[in-house]
Each structure stands twice: as C-alpha cells, then as structure tokens.
Amino acid sequence: MNKKYVYMFDQGRGDKRELLGGKGANLAEMTRIGLPVPYGFTISTEACNAYYDAGKTISENIRQQILESLQNLEQQTGKTLGDPENPLLVSVRSGAVHSMPGMMDTVLNLGMNDETVEGMAKLTNNPRFAYDSYRRFIQMFSDVVLKVDGFYFEQLLEEVREEKGYETDPEMTAADWQEVIQGYKELVKKHTKSSFPQDPKEQMFLSVEAVFDSWNNQRAIVYRRLQKIPGHLGTAVNIQSMVFGNMGDDSGTGVAFTRNPSTGEAKLYGEYLINAQGEDVVAGIRTPQPIVTLQNEMPEVYEQFVDTCNLLEKHYQDMQDIEFTVERGQLFILQTRNGKRTAQAAIKVAVDLVEENILSKREALLRVDPDQLNQLLHSRIDDAFVRNPLTKGLPASPGAATGKVVFDADEADRLAKEEKKVILVRPETTPDDIHGIVAAQATVTSRGGMTSHAAVVARGMGKACICGCESVSIDLKEKRFKVGETIVKEGDVITIDGSTGEIFLGEIPMIDPQLSEEFQLLLTWADQERTLGVRANADNPEDAKKAVEFGAGGIGLCRTEHMFMDVARIPIVQQMILADTYEEREVALSKLLPMQQEDFEGIFEAMQGRPVTIRLLDPPLHEFLPDKEELLVDVTKLQMTSPESEELKQKEYLLRKVRQIDEFNPMLGHRGCRLGMTFPEIYEMQAKAIFYAISKMRTKGIDVKPEIMIPLVGHVNELKEMRRLVINAGVQIEQETGEDFDYLVGTMIEVPRAALTADQIAEEADFFSFGTNDLTQSTFGYSRDDAEGKFLQSYIESKVLPENPFAVLDQDGVGKLVETGVKLGRGTKPELKTGICGEHGGEKTSIEFCHEVGLDYVSCSPYRVPLARLAAAQATIKHELRQSVAEFQAQK
C-alpha cells in the first residue's frame, strides 16, 4: 500500500505535530472538534523529507495524493481551482513542528489568473478588490516561487502611483490596478524569460516546492541553529481554502472575546463589519458593529457563532479571543487563542469556569498570576491613558497616586493634616521621615533600592513608592527637582505609578481598587490547597488589622525600631542612646517600657491570639540621632552667632556623641544582636514590655504566644546569651505577676555564617526566620541601600544577573544558604519552626522556593498577603503535579 503523505484536516489530530507540523496539527484539532475552519489539507513533514531524498522533486505518488486531496477540497467547498465562475483560492503555508515565525515562505490567494480575477470581480461585485488581490498574488508568488526580487514590483507600483499623483494605495482604482498587473506580468517575463504561470495547479505545485525549499533558506537555518531545532524534521505544507468576508451583505468579518476581557462578565464581547475583509476592521475606516447586533442581522450565523464559542471554551478550558469571517452566510473560524485579560477579569473568568464545571478549583488557581492581584489592591492608572512619563525609577511599591510635590516629611505631615494630597520626594528616607511617608500619598526617592527604608516602609503601608530614581536631581534648598530640562517645584502636581516606576507631570485618571466576591472565593480555595503559612510584616495595630483582613495567619516580623520613631518618643530614645552611665540609660528605658508595652498590647489585641514574631531592636543607633552634617552646620553657625549659648553646648555635645558612634560601614556595624550584647538593658526592657503585655492581654481573655526574635546572629554564643537574657526577664515578670508565660525565642538567619552553622544555632533557637534582605546583602556583598542605584540596574539590563536579587530570591546562592540553614537546623531540632521575613516573602517565585525547601511560612507586607496565599497554593499544586509526573514516569 502506498504510504500516506497528505492528510485532509479532518483526518489529522492535535497530537500529530511531528507529522503535520504545529499549524497542521492545530487546524486538524480545530476541525476534529467540529469548528468551522476553512477546509484544507496538510502535506506532511515526511513528504518534505521525501522531496529532499528524491533530489528536490515531488514524487509521482505524493503528486497524486495532493491532487486527490485538492479534489476532495473542491468537493467540500463547492468551488474549483481555476473555475472563473466560482474559483477556489487557497493559501499555501509552511508549518514546522516547532514554531519558526516568519522564517519560511507563504503564498496567499493562489488560484488567481487572468480569468479567475474576472470571476472574483463579479462575485464580490468589487473589481477593485479583485484586481488588487491578483496583483498581490503575482507579487508574492514571483518573490517566493519565481525568485524575482520584490523590489522591482515595489518600484513599479511607486512609479504608477506617482504618475497618477496618488499618495497612498487606497487611492488606486480598479483600472489602475489592472495597469499595475500588466506591468507586473511584463516584469516577470523580463526576469524569468517566461510568462506568469496561469495554470493554478502548476502554481500550486511550484508553491509547495518553494515552501519545502524554504526549510533550507539562510534565515531558517540560522534560526534553527539558534533555537537548537534539528534540521532533519522538515516542514509540512498547509493548503487551505481562502474565505472572503467581502462577498456582499451576507458576508462579513470580526473579532470577539467569549467573555468581557475587562470585567470577566460571561457575555460575548466584540465587533464585526458586514461586507468587509479583516484589514478593514483593523484600518478603522468603517465603524464596526457590536457583536450583539449580529443576532438581528444574521440570526443563524450568530447562533452558530455562540455555539462555537461555547465549544471552544470547553475545549481550551479558557476564555477565547476569536477571529471569524462569514462568507455568503457561512461562518468560518480563522483563529482562536486564549484571550488577554485584566486582573479582575482573570479572577472572574477562573471562578466562573469552576462554577460552570469547565475547570477544577486547582486548575482555576493556576490560571491567575499572583502578581496581577496587586492591581486589585491598589489604585491604578486608567488603562485608557496613553503613557508619556517624565522619568522612571524602581517600582518599589505598587499603586498609583497623585499629589503636590513636597520635599520634607514635616511639610508632608502638615499639609496632610489640612487634607491636602502630597507626594514626598526625598534623596532617600530615614526612620526620621516615617511620619512624612504616612502622611503622603506616595514617596519618591532618588537613591536606594527595593529593600531601602522607603521601599520597605511604603510596601508595609500599602502606599505607592518609587526608589532609586537617579534621573531626578533634587535641590532641597531651592525646593525643586530637575529631570533633564524639566523643573518641578514644590506644590506642582505629579502622578506616580509605583507598579512601573513611572513619574508623570500633572493629574491622571485613576481606577479605584476592587475586591470582588470572586477574589475572596479564589483566595479561600487557595487556603484549602496551600501548606505554607502566610504571615505579615506589621509594626503597629493598623497594619496588623489590615494583615488579618487580607488573611494573614499571624505576624512574621514586627520591627520594634519603627515604634521608636514616633515623634513623641525620639527625645527619650536619644536620651537612652546618649546616656553616659547605666543609671542614666535606665531612666530613659523606664520611660520607654510602658510605651513599648502599649504597642505590643495593641498588636496582640489586633491579632487575637494569632502568633506574633517580635524582633528586638535591630538598626544601628545613629539612625535615631540627628544627621552629622546638619549638626556640623548648626554648630558652625552657632559658634559665629551665639558662641555662649546653651543651644551651642547642647549641639556640640550631640555632635561629639554622634561622632563617637559613627561607623564606616553601619550595615556591617553595631546593629542587631550586637546592640543587645553591648546594651543588654535595651533588650531586657523590650522583653519585659512583651511579658507585661501578655499579662495584660490575659485580663482581656486573649491568649498570646509571642515569638521573640533576635536579629543578626552570626555565632551561637550571641543567641545563647540573648536567649538567657529574655528568659531571665520572663522569669522575673512571672515571679512578679505569678503567671506562667508560653513563648518562643528564636533568631533571624541573615548572615551567611548563621546559615552555615545553623546546626549549632538551632541548639538555642525555637525558630528561624530567614532575613533574606540582609542575607542577600551579606552573601553578594552588595549594599542593599546603594547597589541598585549604582550598578545593579545595569547588571540586570546587561544580564549579568537574571533578576534583582533584592526583589527575587537568588536561589543558586542565597537560596542555597536558606536550604542549608533549614537542613542543618532541622538536623539538630526536627520540630524547628522556619519562615522567611525578607521582602522575598511576598514574591511569587521566591515563595515557590520557600515551599520547596520546606519552610513553614512566608511573611510579607499586609498588601502582599493575598498574592502570597495564591502563590503558596500554586506552589503546592505545582509540586504535586511534578511529583505525579515523576511517579508516572517511574512506573513506565
């Protein structure tokens, strides 16, 4: 029996890519499921290889099979190739196993000749269209098949246009196109020494050969080499009947989504034009009709189209974006693909498809990109707005905001109290600026990266923030900033988009955040799937409440230094730092203790018994003191104006102190547990405040089990000592109150030595929390405050690094330390609780990694909690899917 080389579309299948190529397999699949795709046949990749084996000739056997298939196609369509009364026109396209876009050749409108063009002119009642199609065919065929350079045709067309005084093609009339056709035919004769082939079958075979040949053209070979596609695969050729939407008022063309791509509403959404080609819809010359009116104009077609949409959605289990054409009352689907959609639509479609029994809940969970959820939790710039940003920085915290520019935190605070909307613009922020960040709609800094102070604080509060915007040159004295030649003064209005890092002049229309029922439902499904806990980083009762509202299971990091920054407390904190004696420091600490206790009570109350991880003081002390340079300026001025004043004495004293504690490398300096080791009374005060707060909560019937966390431990002895200090404080308050406290003492793992000696550290720890901000800083040796502004961005752009490691966990390096830390720690203490509280805890790929290495929870800013819940669910599902594939393969 003869080997089969040619397959009608209804003889193939979607899984026969090797034989039919990607496009052929797809067309076969669409035909198989009953879609009205324009009919045709596929000449297999094996035929391509046979063509080459036979010295680039199509064997008689294959030739016969092609002719039989053509006959079949003619019967099915009722049209005949070359019939002037009712001509069949076809496209001839390549179709490799792996997509090689634009690398091989295509011929459209094949079957046109001097006679069929007349038939087309009559049938469409549009001679201009017919002649234009014919001249396009001659041009394409000559270029692809006859190898006459397209340039000659372009040149001729240009000449005719000029002669007629036209600027563009649409001005050409039918007679003009006839003239061009004549010229084209002469060109062919001149270059090939023979006439343009008029026999459509000859056209077809020549085209098939040309497509086979194009498998080995220069660009295809180079592309294959680059993409590592084997050269022996060959290409298939698809011959498909052309359909025309411009054959009268019973024809048309359009595009439609099976659901609304903006809202997700389960209602057809799209438009069409009667008696038109696809180009007419795109060109926008005529205004298309909304798809619903097709119901009145062509009721049967509409009904069939609706059925087709349902079929397609069921088959592809997703919302489809469909191109269709109606030719003399008959519907054809030209293309279908999964439709692009907004975040809101993505969620609604996924949830609805579950309710319609098309998707399972797990499949639906995988359909929504966790990053998209951010869009829904923050205001954003209206999609319709055409973006023309003034400049761009790092997208440090999502959301969009508009306001008047201010350059000072106090000013921001003052104006906000007057209900004014402001945007705080600073070279960088320090803990001193917190009230300004709180008061402003958004913050912009010209320095600092994704884990800089401004970024972390703004994310925690769900406020938009752009960092490291180096092109913004700020003049604090003149109260203005410059971007190139543009000057923005205090009080000028700007809009920022923290999701893209863009800054715009003036006010821009916004869309408010929406939390739909579907959104909540999807997250409940996520909670049922995930095994990874999700906590929040929160430092005050408001953030804690937000965290609970967004579904956090507890607090994974409460940074106590943020509480020290309250304007009312700063003088007491400074008193504590500046104290020369233990006794002096005790006075300040005894004032701070009740304040801290109140803070903890507020948080415990908001968390209603959920776990709360409280980290004892972490940053270098100079962060709480005035700026050294500002002090120096003040002192110099005072020395000149009032050399005897009390103020000068005070400032000189302060300057001396600031100089004493000043460090070259504060990030590697006297911070974290090193502070607790040298000033144990500070940690002791904090521990006592926690215990008093537990006792107070009990009177309100709230049971609290805090997790007290020691930062920046590098050696087990540090933790041993700090743990003892906390426990002693606990015993003391237990004796005082007569109560028993249930709590944990653990550590952050945020320097490489801690991860590498985690087995020893675990002896003293009830839990580990990976501080991957510092761990990234200390593993790479990149300053987390400077690297992004200085060189990291260019590293990322030039692909030295694949991602910003402060935003996306570097799994190969930092991740290896996390994994090592977990293994070593659990080797010592199998029940050791582990989590992550660096910024990576709110990033989807890092969350998946955390799941894979067996962490118990991730902790991130409250506004990222929904994202983390979904990403954690996806991590569980993906892991299980991978596992079942592996098991299946092992069984085989």
* Residue 701 marked ligand-binding: no
Window contacting ligand PEP (CB under 6 A); options: 405-413, 429-437, 489-497, 767-775: 767-775
- Rounded to an integer, what distance in angstroms lies between the CA atom of residue 93 and that of residue 107? 6
Q: Least distance (Å) from ligand PEP to the CB of residue 457?
A: 10
Check: CB of residue 824 under 8 Å from CB of residue 786. Answer: no
- Mention every residue, 6+ apart, whose C-beta is less than 8 A from residue 756: 817, 820, 821, 824
Which residue in the shown chain puts its C-beta closest to Mg ion? 774
Residue 495 contacts ligand PEP per CB under 6 A:
no
Secondary structure (H, E, C), 451-507: CCHHHHHHHHHCCEEEECCCCCEEECCCCEEEECCEEEECCCEEEEECCCCEEEECC
**Which region among 344-352, 465-473, 491-499, 766-774 touches ligand PEP (by CB under 6 A)?**
766-774
Token pair, residue 363, equals 């499949």
Residue of 326, 357, 448, 441 lying closest to 788 (CA atoms): 448
With CB under 5 to 8 Å by kind, the binding choice for 837 among ligand PEP, Mg ion, none is: ligand PEP
Query: In this complex, which beta carbon is closest to ligand PEP, that of residue 546 or of residue 671?
Result: 671
List the catalytic residue out of 48, 465, 558, 837.
837
Buried b (16+ CB within 10 A) or exposed e, 540-570: bbebbbbbbebbbbbbbbbbbbbbbbeeebb
Binding partner of residue 853 among Mg ion, ligand PEP, none, CB under 5 to 8 Å per kind? none
Return the beta strands (E) in 650-801 as ranges: 706-710, 744-749, 767-770
Catalytic one of 48, 309, 315, 453: 453
Nearest to Mg ion of 153, 806 (CB atom)? 806
Residue 771 assigned as binding residue: yes
Check residue 80 and report its DSSP letter.
B
Question: Maximum Cα–Cα distance for the chain, whole Å?
Answer: 114
Six token digits for residue 335: 């293309």
- One-letter amino acid at 703 equals D
Please report how close the Cβ of residue 626 comes to ligand PEP at its closest, in angstroms.
Answer: 22
Instruction: Pick what 529 binds: Mg ion, ligand PEP, none; C-beta below 5 to 8 Å, kind-dependent.
Output: none
Strand extents, DSSP E, 292-329 = 320-327
Which residue, 42 or 773, has its beta carbon nearer to Mg ion?
A: 773
Is residue 717 part of an annotated ligand binding site?
no
CA distance 365 to 351: 9
Binding site for Mg ion (CB under 5 A): 750, 771, 774
**In the complex with ligand PEP, which residue's Cβ is closer, 585 or 840?**
840
Q: How far is the CB of 860 from ligand PEP (least distance, A)?
A: 10
Task: Output 273 or 557, the one with its CB closest to Mg ion.
Answer: 557
Q: Of 837, 847, 865, 877, which one interacts with ligand PEP (CB under 6 A)? A: 837
- Strand runs (DSSP E) across 46-164, as ranges? 90-96, 106-110
What is the rounded CA–CA span in Å between residue 220 and residue 102? 9
Kindly identify the residues of this chain, within the stretch 442-481, that bind ligand PEP according to CB under 6 A: 456
98 tagged catalytic: no
In terms of CB distance, is 242 or 860 closer to ligand PEP?
A: 860
- Cross-strand pairs, 768: 747, 834
Tell me if residue 837 is catalytic.
yes
**Is residue 161 a known part of a binding site?**
no
Segment interacting with ligand PEP, rule: CB under 6 A, options 115-123, 494-502, 755-763, 768-776: 768-776
For residue 574, give the nearest of 626, 620, 527, 519 by alpha carbon.
626
List the one residue from 773, 779, 846, 874 that touches ligand PEP (CB under 6 A).
773
For residue 259, the partner it binds in ligand PEP, Mg ion, none, with Cβ less than 5 to 8 A by kind, is none
Nearest alpha-carbon partner for 316 in 276, 274, 359: 359
| CB of residue 222 to Mg ion, shortest distance in Å | 49
State which of residues 838, 842, 862, 866 lies at the interface with ligand PEP (CB under 6 A): 838
Residue 603 C-beta: closest distance to ligand PEP, Å: 17
Binding to ligand PEP (CB under 6 A): which residues in 745-764? 750
Site string for ligand PEP, 793-832 (x = CB under 6 A): ----------------------------------------
Minimum gap (Å) between residue 366 Cβ and ligand PEP: 29
Instruction: Give the count of residues interacting with ligand PEP (CB under 6 A).
Output: 11
Q: Which is nearer to Mg ion, 253 or 773 (CB)?
A: 773
Check the annotation: does 772 bind a ligand.
yes
CB nearer to Mg ion: pick between 245 and 771:
771
454 Cβ partners below 8 Å, 6+ apart?
396, 426, 428, 429, 433, 437, 443, 445, 448, 465, 467
For residue 161, the one-letter residue type is R
Contact status, residue 852 vs residue 379, Cβ threshold 8 Å:
no
Separation of alpha carbons 338 and 345, rounded Å? 13
Rg of the chain in Å (alpha carbons): 35
CB neighbourhood size of 37 (10 A)? 23
The reply, when asked if residue 192 is annotated as ligand binding, is no
Residue 557 binding ligand PEP, by CB under 6 A: yes
Is 774 labelled as part of a ligand binding site?
Answer: yes
Distance from C-alpha of 183 to C-alpha of 185, rounded to nearest angstrom:
5
Taking CB under 6 A as the rule, which mask of x and - marks residues 608-637 in contact with ligand PEP? ----------x-------------------
Stretch that binds ligand PEP, among 144-152, 163-171, 730-738, 765-773 (CB under 6 A): 765-773
Cα–Cα distance, 685 to 404 (Å, whole number): 41
- Give the residue with the Cβ less far from Mg ion, 400 or 745: 745
**Binding site: residue ranges?**
559, 615, 750, 771-774
Binding residues for Mg(2+): 750, 774
Residues annotated as part of the active site: 453, 837
Interface residue list for ligand PEP (CB under 6 A): 456, 557, 559, 618, 750, 771-774, 837-838
Binding site as annotated, residues for substrate? 559, 615, 750, 771-774
